[in-house]
């Protein structure tokens, strides 16, 4: 798990604004967790509010997806990610929300929208 928090709308660690792509989970209790492995990040929770990936550059969110091998959030659940992350203080303007669906072993891009 990566030690991170949201400060002034940006994702930061002890080293400053975060850069890279991370697995992201928001637990049912509202805890934000970044790192690798959704089920691990959630402490084996049966359900979460948000599970996917997040791409950032210097703390600014570039892309959010619903790509989670364990939780498999659908399109309707994924559309709530913007509200959930805004409620946690993230600044998402200019980022994209990419929604995938799983078809067999393939992950197929269903939609991609720019966040205002």
**Which sequence spans correspond to the domains of the chain?**
5-114
Residue 98, token pair as written in the block: 């990419």
User: Cα dihedral sign for 11, 90, 27, 52?
Assistant: negative
From 68-72, 75-79, 90-94, 97-101, the region with the lowest mean pLDDT = 68-72
The predicted pLDDT at position 37 comes to 85
Q: d(Cα 49, Cα 2) in Å, to the nearest integer?
A: 19
Question: The pTM is what?
Answer: 0.90
Q: In this model, does residue 114 exceed pLDDT 90?
A: yes
């Amino acid at each position: 798990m990566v030690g991170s928090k949201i400060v002034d709308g940006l994702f930061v660690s002890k080293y400053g604004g975060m850069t890279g792509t991370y697995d992201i989970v928001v637990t049912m209790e509202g805890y934000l967790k970044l790192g690798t492995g959704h089920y691990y990040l959630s402490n084996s929770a049966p359900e979460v509010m948000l599970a996917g990936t997040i791409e950032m550059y210097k703390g600014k969110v570039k892309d959010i997806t619903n790509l989670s091998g364990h939780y498999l959030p659908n399109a309707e659940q994924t559309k709530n990610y913007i509200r959930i992350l805004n409620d946690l203080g993230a600044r998402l303007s200019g980022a994209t929300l990419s929604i995938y669906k799983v078809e067999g072993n393939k992950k197929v891009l269903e939609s991609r929208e720019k966040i205002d």
